[in-house]
Amino acid sequence: MSALEYERFADIYRVWTATAGSTHANHPFYVEAYLAAGGPVVELGVGDGRIAVDAAVRGCHVVGVDLSPAMLALCRDRAAAAGVRDRLTLLQGDFRSFELPEPAALIALPYHSLGHLTTLDAKREALRHIHTQLRPGGRFVFDDFLMTPDRLDHMRRVQLRAEYDTPEGQHALLWVTSLIDEGAQTMRVVTWEDLLDEDGVMMRRRYRPLSLSWITPAQAAALLADAGFTVERCLGAFDGTPFVDDTAEEQIWIARKDAAA
Ligand SMILES: C[S@@+](CC[C@H](N)C(=O)[O-])C[C@H]1O[C@@H](n2cnc3c(N)ncnc32)[C@H](O)[C@@H]1O
């Protein structure tokens, strides 16, 4: 992956999340979960701190883990700008091998980020490791794409994602499409930014691909069971709607490490 991919993606991450469908819904869900955790909270793939910093502003201490130095730097800057740098502990590490200073009450892996591990073996390794980093009774919460034919069709289209001015003052268009391998359940999300001069002439185009993947709900349940988790709930939307096959928009898993584990 993806560590290198995010080194190149970091500068457009804020525009990307501001114009994404699910970020507006997943943000309050995770912030509330962090505040309710009642113990050490960890966000894996903390990114630019979009969720963690807002939880910190509301009083929560968050340990943020991420592989990408560029994303961790954005998170650090965002926390400093919000005046909560002291409420964030940032660690560079991988989902499969991070080491926490103390066992967590809640480990969250938001925004389809498990999908950056693109094989079932890598995801299995991650979930087994996450289980070891929780305290007994602690929870693991994550969401993944709920892939449907409509969603695949949508992702394959070329979409104009955003129009904005860069910090350097250049006018920009952000485009995206995805190359999808349905058999392997993987995709290359290919994003490109066009920088335009005042006459609308394209001066520069830069591509920033990301490697992603998805699992089915049955695969998610099997991975959680394999790692030793007990599933408390599976939601179909971030407003708390229980997962129902025909109407679910996402798969959001809330799992527990049993007290005896
Ligand atoms: C989709 S972003 C999510 C960021 C943030 N949680 C949010 O919701 O906006 C995924 C993040 O996971 C990080 N990441 C990807 N693969 C990783 C891995 N194997 N271990 C740790 N971090 C990883 C990326 O660097 C990126 O910051």
Interatomic CA distance for residues 229 and 248, integer angstroms: 22
Closest ligand 1 atom to Cα of 117: 19
pLDDT score recorded for residue 260: 72
User: Does 142 lie in the same domain as 162?
Assistant: no
Whole-number Å distance, alpha carbon 107 to ligand 1 midpoint, is 14
User: Does 86 lie in the same domain as 45?
Assistant: yes
Count the domains in the chain.
2
Mean of all residue pLDDT scores within the chain: 96
User: Does 235 lie in the same domain as 193?
Assistant: no
CB 63, CB 100: distance < 8 Å: yes
User: Does 101 lie in the same domain as 194?
Assistant: no
User: Does 207 lie in the same domain as 102?
Assistant: no
User: Does 170 lie in the same domain as 244?
Assistant: no
Q: Atom 13 of ligand 1 has which residue's CA nearest to it?
A: 45
Domain residues for 82? 3-146+216-257
Whole-number Å distance, alpha carbon 126 to ligand 1 midpoint, is 13
User: Does 249 lie in the same domain as 229?
Assistant: yes
User: Does 116 lie in the same domain as 59?
Assistant: yes
Interatomic CA distance for residues 99 and 188, integer angstroms: 29
Quote the DSSP letter at residue 152.
H
Q: Which residue in 94, 70, 65 sits closest to 8, CA to CA?
A: 70
Closest ligand 1 atom to Cα of 126: 19
Closest ligand 1 atom to Cα of 49: 5
CATH code: domain of residue 125 = 3.40.50.150
> Tens digits of per-residue pLDDT, 88-120?
999 999 999 999 999 999 999 999 999 999 999
The answer to pTM > 0.85 is yes
Interatomic CA distance for residues 24 and 19, integer angstroms: 9
> Tens digits of per-residue pLDDT, 211-250?
999 999 999 999 999 999 999 999 999 999 999 988 999 9
User: Does 101 lie in the same domain as 11?
Assistant: yes
Average pLDDT, integer, range 8-13: 94
> Tens digits of per-residue pLDDT, 30-84?
999 999 998 899 999 999 999 999 999 999 999 999 999 999 999 999 999 999 9
Query: In terms of C-beta distances under 8 Å and separation of at least 24 residues, what long-range contacts does 20-25 make, across chains too?
Result: 22/111, 22/112, 22/238, 22/250, 23/50, 23/111, 25/237, 25/238, 25/239
